[in-house]
Amino acid sequence: MSHPLLLLKDPMFSDGQITFGVIFFIAFCIIISFMYLRDKNLHTKNYKGVKWVLVGFVSFIVLLVIIKFTLK
């Protein structure tokens, strides 16, 4: 009864709803990928220093965790 395919078939959704969901998800991923590739040059031009902002956020969170465990 714990077969993975049986878990996907929930009696709450009909076969048509599951089919629509799968097709919608695939189409959505294709469209998002196409739009990202189309705007890639624009993003690299406008968001040059974004990596450093991410490094700053991650290092701040790591610093908070270190402080939490050292003051315990």
pLDDT tens for each residue of 3-49: 455 555 557 888 899 999 999 999 999 999 999 999 988 888 888 88
| Ranges of each domain in the chain | 4-70
Using CA atoms, how far residue 49 sits from 11, 21, 43, 61, in Å, is 49, 37, 11, 19
Residues 6+ apart with CB under 8 A from 55: none
Neighbours of 18 (CB within 10 A): 13
pLDDT of residue 45: 85
